[in-house]
Protein backbone atom coordinates (compact mmCIF):
# COMPACT_ATOMS: atom_id res chain seq x y z
CA UNK A 1 0.00 0.00 0.00
CA UNK A 2 1.09 3.56 -0.54
CA UNK A 3 1.69 6.09 2.21
CA UNK A 4 -1.58 7.70 1.19
CA UNK A 5 -3.77 4.63 1.68
CA UNK A 6 -2.16 3.50 4.96
CA UNK A 7 -3.07 6.84 6.50
CA UNK A 8 -1.57 8.48 9.54
CA UNK A 9 -0.18 6.24 12.27
CA UNK A 10 -2.22 4.88 15.17
CA UNK A 11 -1.11 5.68 18.72
CA UNK A 12 -1.85 2.98 21.32
CA UNK A 13 -1.87 4.21 24.93
CA UNK A 14 -1.52 1.76 27.80
CA UNK A 15 0.75 -0.81 29.36
CA UNK A 16 3.46 -3.15 28.32
CA UNK A 17 4.47 -6.01 30.61
CA UNK A 18 6.64 -9.13 30.51
CA UNK A 19 4.72 -12.40 30.33
CA UNK A 20 6.43 -15.53 31.62
CA UNK A 21 4.53 -18.30 29.88
CA UNK A 22 4.85 -21.90 31.07
CA UNK A 23 3.18 -24.73 29.17
CA UNK A 24 2.45 -27.82 31.27
CA UNK A 25 0.69 -31.10 30.42
CA UNK A 26 -1.71 -30.55 33.30
CA UNK A 27 -2.19 -27.88 35.92
CA UNK A 28 0.47 -28.38 38.65
CA UNK A 29 -0.40 -29.65 42.11
CA UNK A 30 0.42 -27.27 44.91
CA UNK A 31 3.77 -27.76 46.63
CA UNK A 32 5.29 -30.00 43.93
CA UNK A 33 8.33 -29.67 41.72
CA UNK A 34 8.07 -30.50 38.02
CA UNK A 35 9.21 -29.70 34.51
CA UNK A 36 7.32 -27.80 31.89
CA UNK A 37 6.71 -28.89 28.28
CA UNK A 38 7.74 -25.54 26.95
CA UNK A 39 8.01 -21.95 28.04
CA UNK A 40 8.98 -18.49 26.87
CA UNK A 41 9.02 -14.82 27.80
CA UNK A 42 7.12 -12.38 25.68
CA UNK A 43 5.87 -8.84 25.58
CA UNK A 44 2.29 -8.46 26.82
CA UNK A 45 -0.13 -5.79 27.94
CA UNK A 46 -3.31 -4.96 26.04
CA UNK A 47 -2.29 -1.76 24.23
CA UNK A 48 1.13 -3.24 23.60
CA UNK A 49 -0.48 -6.29 21.94
CA UNK A 50 -2.82 -4.13 19.89
CA UNK A 51 0.28 -2.29 18.61
CA UNK A 52 1.90 -5.57 17.63
CA UNK A 53 -1.07 -6.81 15.64
CA UNK A 54 -1.58 -3.44 13.93
CA UNK A 55 2.06 -3.57 12.87
CA UNK A 56 1.73 -7.14 11.60
CA UNK A 57 -1.31 -6.10 9.55
CA UNK A 58 0.71 -3.31 7.97
CA UNK A 59 -0.48 -0.25 9.83
CA UNK A 60 1.96 2.37 11.10
CA UNK A 61 1.80 2.38 14.86
CA UNK A 62 3.38 3.99 17.91
CA UNK A 63 3.06 2.86 21.50
CA UNK A 64 2.71 5.28 24.40
CA UNK A 65 3.24 3.85 27.88
CA UNK A 66 5.74 3.83 30.72
CA UNK A 67 9.02 2.14 29.80
CA UNK A 68 11.46 0.78 32.36
CA UNK A 69 15.22 1.29 32.36
CA UNK A 70 15.73 -2.04 34.10
CA UNK A 71 17.81 -4.71 32.36
CA UNK A 72 14.93 -7.16 32.27
CA UNK A 73 12.91 -4.70 30.22
CA UNK A 74 15.42 -4.77 27.37
CA UNK A 75 13.70 -7.84 25.91
CA UNK A 76 10.58 -5.74 25.45
CA UNK A 77 12.41 -2.77 23.99
CA UNK A 78 14.16 -5.05 21.51
CA UNK A 79 10.86 -6.54 20.45
CA UNK A 80 9.24 -3.13 20.01
CA UNK A 81 12.21 -1.98 17.95
CA UNK A 82 12.29 -5.12 15.82
CA UNK A 83 8.64 -4.63 15.01
CA UNK A 84 9.03 -0.96 14.13
CA UNK A 85 6.64 0.16 16.84
CA UNK A 86 7.60 3.74 17.71
CA UNK A 87 8.23 4.55 21.38
CA UNK A 88 9.76 8.01 21.10
CA UNK A 89 7.11 9.68 23.31
CA UNK A 90 7.33 7.15 26.13
CA UNK A 91 8.56 8.35 29.54
CA UNK A 92 10.95 6.07 31.45
CA UNK A 93 11.26 4.93 35.03
CA UNK A 94 13.93 3.09 37.05
CA UNK A 95 11.27 0.80 38.54
CA UNK A 96 11.21 -2.84 37.53
CA UNK A 97 8.63 -3.60 34.85
CA UNK A 98 5.34 -5.27 35.66
CA UNK A 99 5.09 -8.95 34.77
CA UNK A 100 2.53 -11.72 34.51
CA UNK A 101 3.05 -15.40 35.21
CA UNK A 102 0.98 -17.50 32.83
CA UNK A 103 0.38 -21.25 33.09
CA UNK A 104 -1.16 -22.95 30.08
CA UNK A 105 -2.36 -26.46 30.97
CA UNK A 106 -2.63 -28.60 27.86
CA UNK A 107 -5.10 -31.24 29.03
CA UNK A 108 -7.79 -28.81 30.20
CA UNK A 109 -6.86 -25.93 27.89
CA UNK A 110 -6.99 -23.54 30.84
CA UNK A 111 -4.92 -20.40 31.15
CA UNK A 112 -4.08 -19.17 34.62
CA UNK A 113 -2.63 -15.69 34.87
CA UNK A 114 -1.16 -13.89 37.88
CA UNK A 115 -0.42 -10.20 37.38
CA UNK A 116 2.30 -8.50 39.36
CA UNK A 117 2.56 -4.76 38.80
CA UNK A 118 3.96 -3.48 42.12
CA UNK A 119 2.59 0.08 41.69
CA UNK A 120 4.41 0.57 38.45
CA UNK A 121 3.85 4.19 37.37
CA UNK A 122 1.47 4.91 34.50
CA UNK A 123 1.70 7.58 31.84
CA UNK A 124 0.09 10.91 32.71
CA UNK A 125 -1.51 13.77 30.84
CA UNK A 126 1.69 15.78 31.48
CA UNK A 127 3.55 13.19 29.39
CA UNK A 128 0.81 12.99 26.79
CA UNK A 129 0.53 16.72 26.17
CA UNK A 130 4.10 16.77 24.81
CA UNK A 131 3.01 14.64 21.86
CA UNK A 132 2.43 16.34 18.53
CA UNK A 133 -1.05 15.00 17.87
CA UNK A 134 -1.12 16.15 14.26
CA UNK A 135 1.07 13.11 13.48
CA UNK A 136 -1.75 10.68 14.33
CA UNK A 137 -5.01 9.65 12.74
CA UNK A 138 -6.29 7.42 15.54
CA UNK A 139 -5.58 7.13 19.28
CA UNK A 140 -6.53 3.94 21.11
CA UNK A 141 -6.83 3.76 24.92
CA UNK A 142 -7.23 1.10 27.59
CA UNK A 143 -9.91 1.89 30.16
CA UNK A 144 -7.74 2.59 33.20
CA UNK A 145 -6.35 5.51 35.17
CA UNK A 146 -9.53 7.55 34.61
CA UNK A 147 -8.38 11.00 35.72
CA UNK A 148 -5.32 11.05 33.47
CA UNK A 149 -6.94 9.21 30.56
CA UNK A 150 -9.89 11.65 30.55
CA UNK A 151 -7.55 14.59 30.26
CA UNK A 152 -5.65 12.91 27.41
CA UNK A 153 -8.94 12.34 25.57
CA UNK A 154 -9.95 15.92 26.23
CA UNK A 155 -6.73 17.11 24.58
CA UNK A 156 -7.71 15.17 21.47
CA UNK A 157 -11.25 16.58 21.51
CA UNK A 158 -9.76 20.07 21.67
CA UNK A 159 -7.33 19.25 18.89
CA UNK A 160 -10.25 18.08 16.76
CA UNK A 161 -12.21 21.23 17.50
CA UNK A 162 -9.31 23.54 16.62
CA UNK A 163 -7.82 21.86 13.59
CA UNK A 164 -9.20 20.74 10.29
CA UNK A 165 -8.17 17.13 10.86
CA UNK A 166 -10.04 14.72 13.03
CA UNK A 167 -8.35 12.11 15.20
CA UNK A 168 -10.50 9.07 15.96
CA UNK A 169 -10.62 7.88 19.59
CA UNK A 170 -11.23 4.25 20.59
CA UNK A 171 -11.46 2.60 23.99
CA UNK A 172 -10.94 -0.97 25.16
CA UNK A 173 -13.41 -1.23 28.07
CA UNK A 174 -12.83 -4.42 30.06
CA UNK A 175 -12.89 -3.53 33.75
CA UNK A 176 -14.46 -1.39 36.50
CA UNK A 177 -17.71 -0.29 34.83
CA UNK A 178 -18.78 2.54 37.12
CA UNK A 179 -15.34 4.14 37.35
CA UNK A 180 -14.49 3.86 33.65
CA UNK A 181 -17.90 4.69 32.13
CA UNK A 182 -17.12 8.38 31.71
CA UNK A 183 -14.19 7.50 29.45
CA UNK A 184 -16.72 6.46 26.78
CA UNK A 185 -18.11 9.97 26.21
CA UNK A 186 -15.36 11.45 24.05
CA UNK A 187 -14.93 8.20 22.09
CA UNK A 188 -15.86 7.34 18.54
CA UNK A 189 -15.65 3.58 19.26
CA UNK A 190 -15.97 1.61 22.49
CA UNK A 191 -15.16 -2.10 22.53
CA UNK A 192 -16.94 -3.56 25.51
CA UNK A 193 -15.98 -6.95 26.90
CA UNK A 194 -18.23 -9.94 27.45
CA UNK A 195 -16.67 -10.45 30.90
CA UNK A 196 -17.68 -6.98 32.00
CA UNK A 197 -21.17 -7.51 30.55
CA UNK A 198 -21.54 -10.65 32.63
CA UNK A 199 -20.39 -8.79 35.75
CA UNK A 200 -23.20 -6.32 35.05
CA UNK A 201 -25.65 -9.22 34.65
CA UNK A 202 -26.20 -8.42 30.95
CA UNK A 203 -26.93 -11.74 29.31
CA UNK A 204 -26.85 -11.16 25.56
CA UNK A 205 -24.66 -8.98 23.35
CA UNK A 206 -27.75 -7.09 22.18
CA UNK A 207 -28.78 -6.27 25.76
CA UNK A 208 -25.22 -5.21 26.45
CA UNK A 209 -25.17 -2.70 23.60
CA UNK A 210 -28.57 -1.35 24.56
CA UNK A 211 -27.90 -1.05 28.29
CA UNK A 212 -24.54 0.58 27.73
CA UNK A 213 -26.04 2.97 25.15
CA UNK A 214 -28.83 3.81 27.59
CA UNK A 215 -26.36 4.50 30.39
CA UNK A 216 -24.40 6.77 28.08
CA UNK A 217 -27.35 8.72 26.73
CA UNK A 218 -28.77 9.17 30.23
CA UNK A 219 -25.70 11.22 30.91
CA UNK A 220 -26.34 13.37 27.85
CA UNK A 221 -23.52 12.72 25.39
CA UNK A 222 -23.75 14.80 22.27
CA UNK A 223 -22.99 11.97 19.90
CA UNK A 224 -22.86 8.57 21.54
CA UNK A 225 -19.95 6.33 20.55
CA UNK A 226 -20.34 3.25 18.40
CA UNK A 227 -20.48 0.23 20.70
CA UNK A 228 -18.79 -3.00 19.68
CA UNK A 229 -19.15 -6.11 21.71
CA UNK A 230 -17.11 -9.25 20.95
CA UNK A 231 -18.92 -12.24 22.40
CA UNK A 232 -16.36 -15.04 22.48
CA UNK A 233 -17.17 -17.95 20.20
CA UNK A 234 -20.52 -16.33 19.27
CA UNK A 235 -18.89 -13.64 17.12
CA UNK A 236 -19.47 -9.96 17.76
CA UNK A 237 -22.16 -7.29 17.55
CA UNK A 238 -22.16 -3.54 17.07
CA UNK A 239 -24.55 -0.65 17.56
CA UNK A 240 -24.00 2.72 15.92
CA UNK A 241 -25.09 6.18 17.03
CA UNK A 242 -28.21 6.06 14.83
CA UNK A 243 -29.35 2.81 16.44
CA UNK A 244 -28.33 0.44 13.61
CA UNK A 245 -27.49 -2.93 15.10
CA UNK A 246 -25.51 -5.73 13.42
CA UNK A 247 -24.62 -9.26 14.48
CA UNK A 248 -21.50 -10.67 12.84
CA UNK A 249 -21.11 -14.45 13.04
CA UNK A 250 -17.80 -15.94 14.21
CA UNK A 251 -15.12 -17.56 12.08
CA UNK A 252 -14.29 -20.98 13.44
CA UNK A 253 -10.57 -21.38 14.13
CA UNK A 254 -9.02 -24.39 12.34
CA UNK A 255 -7.48 -25.40 15.65
CA UNK A 256 -7.34 -23.91 19.10
CA UNK A 257 -3.64 -23.44 19.89
CA UNK A 258 -3.21 -20.12 21.71
CA UNK A 259 -6.05 -17.87 22.78
CA UNK A 260 -3.82 -15.34 24.60
CA UNK A 261 -4.29 -11.96 22.97
CA UNK A 262 -7.31 -12.93 20.83
CA UNK A 263 -9.22 -9.94 22.22
CA UNK A 264 -6.34 -7.61 21.41
CA UNK A 265 -6.20 -9.08 17.89
CA UNK A 266 -9.92 -8.36 17.48
CA UNK A 267 -9.31 -4.77 18.53
CA UNK A 268 -6.40 -4.33 16.09
CA UNK A 269 -8.39 -5.95 13.25
CA UNK A 270 -11.20 -3.48 13.84
CA UNK A 271 -8.91 -0.43 13.90
CA UNK A 272 -7.10 -1.65 10.79
CA UNK A 273 -10.32 -2.21 8.82
CA UNK A 274 -11.80 1.13 9.83
CA UNK A 275 -8.74 3.35 9.73
CA UNK A 276 -6.65 1.88 6.94
CA UNK A 277 -9.35 0.49 4.64
CA UNK A 278 -12.23 2.81 5.58
CA UNK A 279 -14.61 -0.16 5.66
CA UNK A 280 -18.04 0.40 7.08
CA UNK A 281 -18.80 -0.66 10.63
CA UNK A 282 -20.15 -4.17 9.94
CA UNK A 283 -17.33 -4.98 7.51
CA UNK A 284 -14.68 -3.86 10.00
CA UNK A 285 -16.24 -5.89 12.84
CA UNK A 286 -16.44 -8.92 10.55
CA UNK A 287 -12.73 -8.56 9.77
CA UNK A 288 -12.00 -8.19 13.49
CA UNK A 289 -13.75 -11.55 14.05
CA UNK A 290 -11.60 -13.05 11.34
CA UNK A 291 -8.37 -11.74 12.84
CA UNK A 292 -9.31 -12.98 16.34
CA UNK A 293 -10.12 -16.45 15.03
CA UNK A 294 -6.99 -16.64 12.89
CA UNK A 295 -4.86 -15.62 15.88
CA UNK A 296 -5.99 -18.72 17.79
CA UNK A 297 -4.60 -21.13 15.13
CA UNK A 298 -0.99 -20.56 16.20
CA UNK A 299 1.19 -19.14 18.96
CA UNK A 300 2.05 -15.45 18.80
CA UNK A 301 0.95 -12.93 16.20
CA UNK A 302 3.18 -13.17 13.15
CA UNK A 303 0.85 -15.50 11.20
CA UNK A 304 -1.83 -12.77 11.30
CA UNK A 305 0.25 -11.14 8.54
CA UNK A 306 -1.39 -13.71 6.21
CA UNK A 307 -4.60 -11.66 6.48
CA UNK A 308 -2.90 -8.48 5.44
CA UNK A 309 -4.51 -6.99 2.36
CA UNK A 310 -2.31 -5.46 -0.28
C1 LIG B 1 -0.69 -10.10 24.98
O2 LIG B 1 0.12 -10.92 24.18
C3 LIG B 1 0.96 -11.81 24.87
C4 LIG B 1 1.77 -12.55 23.81
O5 LIG B 1 0.95 -13.32 23.00
C6 LIG B 1 0.14 -12.71 25.76
O7 LIG B 1 1.01 -13.50 26.54
C8 LIG B 1 -0.79 -11.89 26.66
O9 LIG B 1 -1.61 -12.74 27.40
C10 LIG B 1 -1.62 -10.97 25.80
N11 LIG B 1 -2.59 -10.20 26.58
C12 LIG B 1 -2.29 -9.36 27.56
C13 LIG B 1 -3.38 -8.66 28.23
O14 LIG B 1 -1.16 -9.15 27.90
C1 LIG C 1 -6.54 -6.84 29.08
O2 LIG C 1 -7.07 -7.93 28.39
C3 LIG C 1 -7.46 -9.02 29.19
C4 LIG C 1 -7.91 -10.12 28.28
O5 LIG C 1 -8.55 -9.67 27.13
C6 LIG C 1 -8.50 -8.57 30.20
O7 LIG C 1 -8.86 -9.64 31.05
C8 LIG C 1 -7.98 -7.40 31.01
O9 LIG C 1 -8.99 -6.92 31.87
C10 LIG C 1 -7.51 -6.30 30.10
N11 LIG C 1 -6.97 -5.21 30.88
C12 LIG C 1 -7.47 -3.97 30.84
C13 LIG C 1 -6.77 -2.97 31.69
O14 LIG C 1 -8.40 -3.66 30.17
C1 LIG D 1 -27.20 2.41 33.94
O2 LIG D 1 -28.56 2.18 33.66
C3 LIG D 1 -29.21 1.38 34.64
C4 LIG D 1 -30.63 1.14 34.18
O5 LIG D 1 -30.73 1.11 32.79
C6 LIG D 1 -29.18 2.09 35.96
O7 LIG D 1 -29.77 1.26 36.94
C8 LIG D 1 -27.76 2.40 36.35
O9 LIG D 1 -27.74 3.17 37.52
C10 LIG D 1 -27.06 3.15 35.26
N11 LIG D 1 -25.66 3.25 35.65
C12 LIG D 1 -24.96 4.33 35.45
C13 LIG D 1 -23.53 4.28 35.94
O14 LIG D 1 -25.41 5.32 34.92
Atom of ligand 1 nearest to the CA of 46: 13
Query: What is the arithmetic mean of pLDDT over 69-89?
Result: 94
Q: How many CB atoms lie within 10 A of CB 303?
A: 13
pLDDT of residue 310: 63
140 lines ligand 2 (CB under 6 A): no
pTM of the model: 0.93
45 lines ligand 1 (CB under 6 A): yes
pLDDT tens digits along 156-192: 999 999 988 899 999 999 999 999 999 999 999 999 9
Question: Which of the four pLDDT bands, split at 50, 70 and 90, describes residue 146?
Answer: very high
Q: Which of 184, 279, 282, 271 is nearest to 240 (CA)?
A: 282
Atom of ligand 2 nearest to the CA of 46: 1
Asked if pLDDT for residue 91 goes beyond 90, the answer is yes
More reliable by pLDDT, 12 or 109: 12
50, 115, 228, 263: residue to mutate for ligand 2 pocket, most atoms within 8 A of CB: 263
Structural domains present in the chain? 3-16+60-66+121-307 (3.40.1190.20)
97 lines ligand 1 (CB under 6 A): no
218, 220, 221: residue to mutate for ligand 3 pocket, most atoms within 8 A of CB: 218
3-state secondary structure of 44: strand
pLDDT tens digits along 7-25: 899 999 999 999 999 999 9
- Measuring from atom 11 of ligand 1, which residue has the nearest CA? 261
Q: Please tell me the distance between residue 83's alpha carbon and the centre of ligand 2 in angstroms.
A: 22
| CA–CA separation, 86 and 73 (whole Å) | 16
38, 56, 260: residue to mutate for ligand 1 pocket, most atoms within 8 A of CB: 260
Closest ligand to residue 20's CA:
1
The vertex-26 CA angle with 20 and 29, nearest 5°, equals 85
| CA–CA separation, 89 and 152 (whole Å) | 14
| CA–CA separation, 124 and 206 (whole Å) | 35
Query: What is the arithmetic mean of pLDDT over 105-125?
Result: 91
Query: What is the arithmetic mean of pLDDT over 78-100?
Result: 95
- Average pLDDT, whole number, for the chain? 93
- Measuring from atom 10 of ligand 3, which residue has the nearest CA? 215
Asked if pLDDT for residue 2 goes beyond 60, the answer is no
Q: Which of 53, 25, 52, 51 is nearest to 38 (CA)?
A: 25
- Measuring from atom 8 of ligand 1, which residue has the nearest CA? 44
pLDDT tens digits along 193-237: 999 999 999 999 999 999 999 999 866 657 889 999 999 989 999
pLDDT of residue 219: 66
- 65 close to 90: Cβ distance less than 8 angstroms: yes
pLDDT tens digits along 46-59: 999 999 999 999 99
215, 217, 219: residue to mutate for ligand 3 pocket, most atoms within 8 A of CB: 215
Closest ligand to residue 216's CA:
3
Amino acid sequence: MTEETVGKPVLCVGCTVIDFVTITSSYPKEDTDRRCLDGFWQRGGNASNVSTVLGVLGSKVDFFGMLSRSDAFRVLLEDLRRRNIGTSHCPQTDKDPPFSSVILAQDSGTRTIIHCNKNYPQVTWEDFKKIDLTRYGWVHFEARNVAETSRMMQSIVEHNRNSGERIIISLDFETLYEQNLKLCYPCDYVVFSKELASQKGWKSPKDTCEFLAANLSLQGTLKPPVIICPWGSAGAVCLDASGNYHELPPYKPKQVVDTLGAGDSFMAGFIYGTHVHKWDLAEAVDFANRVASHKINKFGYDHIGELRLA
